[in-house]
Structure 1
Amino acid sequence: MRVGYLGPTGTHSHVAAKQFKQMLRQHNTADSVALFPMATFTQLLHDVEAQAIELACVPIENALEGSVNEVIDNLALYRDELAIVGDFVIPIRHALIRTVSARDGIQFIHSHPHVWNQCRQTIYDLLGHDVTYISTSSSAEAIRALNAQDASHAALGTLEAAEHHGLDIVMEDCSAHNKNATRFLLIAHKDTNPLADWAIDTLPRKTSYCFAFREDEAGILIKGLK
């Protein structure tokens, strides 16, 4: 079973995909699961629609940042071909990572803008307001690049990414909110859902709706639900 996630190694999507694999292992179905990193959510869901992979593990909503619009747009685009076959929530922790474990001398913080927004106040409290933020395409990419930087640079990202690149942890969780979490979906093609039998027996059932309206107006969602 081929399961795609938003790469590279060490992203929160990778952490979620590994957790899903562990769920399968508990039901003795994980031996044939292979995880594949992808560049974008659009590529992930296109590959499921084209049946190049069997499943995609994608985030749909973060407790702090809200909906993941790229995922929602593609689910609407492929609504006749794709199905949500599972979901689960994982807590989100953003570690402060560096080539050395001490916090003294940090002048630059690299990470994705969403991660920075969730950790900015903690970083300022810890390091002061003179620290300079540098935006990156992903937190995993920020961590990967640390080995090419001097010790004045640090990054925000997952503990898994730090371990993968042999880096040190300055602080395990810099999120300013202790209830940060993301809900992930498992997406399969309707014709080739590899979890069809397993999911019916082990997962509670849910129904998700996607609404599109010609015009926006107050109360339009309530009208749709009626």
Structure 2
Amino acid sequence: MTGGTLPRYAYLGPAGTFTEAALRQVVGPDEAVYLPQVDVVSAIEAVRSGAADRAVVAIENSVEGGVTATLDTLATGSPLVLLQEVLVPVGFTVAGRAGTSLADVRRISAHPHAWAQCRRWLNQNLPHVVHVPATSNTAPAALLAGTEPLLGFDAALVPPPAVDHYGLVALAEGVADNARAVTRFVVVGKPGTVPPPTGADKTTLVVHLPSNQAGALLEMLEQFATRGVNLSRIESRPLGDAMGRYSFSIDAEGHIAEERMAEALMGLHRVCPHVRFLGSYPRVDAPLSPLRPGTFDPDFVAAREWVTALRGGRTH
């Protein structure tokens, strides 16, 4: 991103996905090169390889929770950090080719997250329909827009804008089970100097437990609780090397530049075998929880100065 070259952004394509909608919130198509990818792993790895400068990927859905492919890919491999987050409302339409009716539909292609968010409507209205998994929310729309006569599915669950974009017909609209569903997307980049705090920030971490013994999870969580750091998200993910071994993907309220967060990270570093810092960045969702007395930055500074004075000869 030097010398007037436009930055390159990898994202889950093809055109019309919710990820593209998130990307457009971050940077317009006239300000960046959009690089559609077949899945979120490819988008993240494009940053690692240098094929892209940034990636925009889904990390959490208000209905289905964490996007495991994103969480697992960020947890391993060369370090990357989260730079920004955006929220995109999520809704779905059953779309098909011209001449198709809802009564004709026997197989629907959909991304697994889309299918999960429309499961109740599908059970009530198309109880015998078969799910054909898709790599993205618009991949089946692009196939329906092509000339292949036999695709293995009759319709697709797609974002509403994809219907017109791919020249399809809406067979049923507003089919999502939760009209208030929203997906959180993050901008992923390579590590650098952490931007200063805004006062409403989030820090994302991957933490391994100090042991597999009783109380290990409590010991890890105490590093946050005793410093007054609230957790807005915590999810366990298998390490993959043996049954019963897990890491934790964590969003904590606050910024690494703030005293309480810095001390929590130092505590984690002391007691946990692995802590991966995935960035401190502005948050866009619910407001921060109020800080309790004794956990403001001046409280930590004053306590540190008091200990320094004790070491110098003071007795109180």
TM-score over 0.5 (shorter chain): yes
How far apart are 1:159 and its partner, in Å?
Answer: 2.3
Q: Which residue of 2 aligns with 1:35?
A: 34
Task: Label 1:221 to 1:149 Cα distance change in 2 as closer, same or farther (>3 A).
Answer: farther
Q: Give the unaligned 5+ runs of structure 1.
A: 23-29
Secondary structure of the corresponding residue to residue 70 of structure 2: helix
Q: Give the unaligned 5+ runs of structure 2.
A: 1-6, 227-316
Q: Which residue of 2 aligns with 1:126?
A: 125
Q: Contact between 1:94 and 1:115, CA under 8 Å: does it hold in 2?
A: yes
How far apart are 1:214 and its partner, in Å?
Answer: 5.0
Which gives a bigger RCO, structure 1 or 2 (Cα 8 Å, sep 6+)? Answer: 1
Alpha carbon RMSD of aligned pairs, Å? Answer: 3.1
Structure 1 window deviating more from structure 2 (139-148 vs 199-208): it is: 199-208
Q: Which residue of 2 aligns with 1:72?
A: 71
Task: Label 1:200 to 1:174 Cα distance change in 2 as closer, same or farther (>3 A).
Answer: farther
Q: Deviations over 1:163-211 (max 9, x none)?
A: 33211122332111122111111112224x8xx8xx7699954322221
Q: Deviations over 1:71-112 (max 9, x none)?
A: 2223233574x2211111111111111113753433322212
Q: Contact between 1:41 and 1:70, CA under 8 Å: does it hold in 2?
A: yes
Q: Which residue of 1 aligns with 2:180?
A: 179
Secondary structure of the corresponding residue to residue 207 of structure 1: strand
Q: Which residue of 2 aligns with 1:213?
A: 209
Q: Contact between 2:102 and 2:171, CA under 8 Å: does it hold in 1?
A: yes
Name the TM-score, length of structure 1 as normaliser: 0.78
In structure 2, what residue type is equivalent to 1:44? Answer: A
Q: Which residue of 2 aligns with 1:27?
A: none
Distance 1:203 1:224 in 2: 21
Q: Which residue of 1 aligns with 2:18?
A: 12
Secondary structure of the corresponding residue to residue 125 of structure 1: helix
Distance 2:27 2:81 in 1: 19
Secondary structure of the corresponding residue to residue 206 of structure 2: coil
Secondary structure of the corresponding residue to residue 202 of structure 2: coil
**Bigger Rg, which one:** 2
Secondary structure of the corresponding residue to residue 209 of structure 2: coil
Distance 1:14 1:21 in 2: 10
Q: Contact between 1:15 and 1:160, CA under 8 Å: does it hold in 2?
A: no
Task: Label 1:62 to 1:220 Cα distance change in 2 as closer, same or farther (>3 A).
Answer: farther
In structure 2, what residue type is equivalent to 1:138? Answer: S
Structure 1 window deviating more from structure 2 (87-96 vs 141-150): it is: 141-150
Distance 1:136 1:64 in 2: 19
Task: Label 1:88 to 1:155 Cα distance change in 2 as closer, same or farther (>3 A).
Answer: same
In structure 2, what residue type is equivalent to 1:181? Answer: V
How do 1:140-155 residues align onto structure 2 when only pairs under 5 Å count?
Answer: 140-147=138-145, 148-149=148-149, 153-155=154-156
Secondary structure of the corresponding residue to residue 209 of structure 1: strand
Name the TM-score, length of structure 2 as normaliser: 0.58
Identity rate, percent: 25
Q: Contact between 2:19 and 2:58, CA under 8 Å: does it hold in 1?
A: yes
Distance 2:53 2:65 in 1: 27
In structure 1, what residue type is equivalent to 2:203? Answer: T
How far apart are 1:61 and its partner, in Å?
Answer: 0.7
Q: Which residue of 2 aligns with 1:61?
A: 60
Instruction: Indicate yes or no: 2:160 matched with 1:159.
Output: yes
Structure having the larger proportion of residues in helix: 1
Distance 2:211 2:161 in 1: 44
